[in-house]
């Protein structure tokens, strides 16, 4: 699935008409050198010398803190390990590492609702596939675009390409500015811009990858749902949740991620979603074609 997502993203980059050859070449180089870690790290860090006692909670915390402090000091002057993980395998999350030009997908995220071996491919591409695409696309979001294929902060864009990119993402920021969880509180489209870009690019690439995986064959109908319906419902279910009002208010004010409801709404920018559910003008989530944001 990861390989299919990388191929889909490469195809989308190659087909861009607004990007100049020089910028496109570097973007493809970044994609081609991405280091993808799945499940757990290739090698385990040694914890020899760390003393953990079952009856000494404070001491365990203290010794662990000191152990890690000395570990970090010992790394000064040594080569950077670009394959080092920043998450444990037990963490339900995923991360893009711009300084390493890498991605980590801990083992714990490969369970429902993100991945279900009993579910159809369409559902899994809609869920874990969009997460994989999300992390890949962070490589080219409003922050990742500042790093080159070696993880160095360097401007590898032409002025014209960057201007086009900035105009596209500004339209996405304004779209999210309109979302209001409460009458007195709107989302901040710039605060959540990087994650919103990744959501949009991720689901777009995953939709392409899923369709490519069919090899021209029709998707199986499951429970009366077409393949496209399964895909988009898989994405929506992966973003479902329940939060108290106070928690949502805090998230809107402080978090770079939009609340799940509005992350799911990014499908408003995909033309395929309209045909899948027969969404028409006047429907609540309808966006006119000219208002749909397309970045990659």
Catalytic residue among 100, 121, 135, 208: 135
Rounded CA-CA distance 51/13 in Å is 50
199 is catalytic: yes
Q: To 10 degrees, the CA torsion angle through 218, 8, 19, 201?
A: 90
CB 149, CB 13: distance < 8 Å: no
Q: How far is CA 189 from CA 156, 186, 239, 255, 259, in A?
A: 25, 9, 18, 11, 12
Calculate the alpha carbon distances from 100 to 154, 264, 284 in Å.
14, 29, 42
How many angstroms separate the CA atoms of 137 and 198, rounded? 5
Question: What would the two tokens of residue 244 be?
Answer: 């108290």
Among candidate residues 199, 228, 239, 265, the one labeled active-site is 199
Just list the catalytic residues: 135, 199
């Amino acid at each position: 699935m990861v390989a299919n997502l990388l191929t889909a993203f490469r195809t989308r980059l190659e087909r861009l008409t607004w990007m100049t050859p020089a910028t496109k070449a570097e973007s493809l180089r970044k994609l081609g050198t991405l280091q993808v870690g799945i499940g757990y790290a290739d090698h385990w860090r040694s914890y020899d010398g760390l003393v953990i006692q079952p009856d000494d909670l404070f001491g365990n915390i203290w010794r662990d803190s000191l152990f890690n402090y000395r570990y970090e000091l010992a790394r000064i002057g040594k080569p950077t390990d670009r394959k080092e993980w920043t998450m444990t395998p037990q963490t339900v999350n995923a991360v893009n590492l711009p300084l390493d030009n890498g991605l980590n997908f801990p083992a714990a995220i490969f369970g429902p609702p993100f991945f279900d071996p009993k579910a159809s491919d369409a559902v899994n591409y809609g869920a874990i596939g969009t997460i994989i695409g999300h992390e890949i696309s962070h490589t080219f979001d409003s922050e990742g675009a500042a790093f080159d294929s070696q993880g160095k902060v360097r401007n590898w864009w032409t002025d014209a390409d960057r201007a086009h990119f900035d105009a596209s993402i500004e339209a996405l920021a304004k779209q999210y500015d309109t979302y209001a969880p409460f009458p007195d509180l709107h989302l901040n489209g710039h605060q959540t811009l990087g994650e919103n870009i990744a959501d949009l690019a991720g689901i777009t690439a995953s939709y392409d990858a899923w369709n490519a995986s069919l090899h021209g064959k029709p998707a199986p109908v499951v429970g009366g749902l077409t393949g496209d319906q399964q895909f988009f419902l898989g994405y929506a279910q992966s973003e479902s949740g329940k939060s108290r009002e106070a928690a949502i208010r805090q998230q809107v004010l402080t978090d770079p991620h939009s609340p799940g409801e509005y992350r799911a709404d990014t499908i408003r920018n995909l033309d395929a979603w309209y045909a899948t559910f027969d969404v028409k003008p006047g429907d609540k989530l309808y966006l006119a074609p000219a208002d749909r944001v397309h970045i990659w």
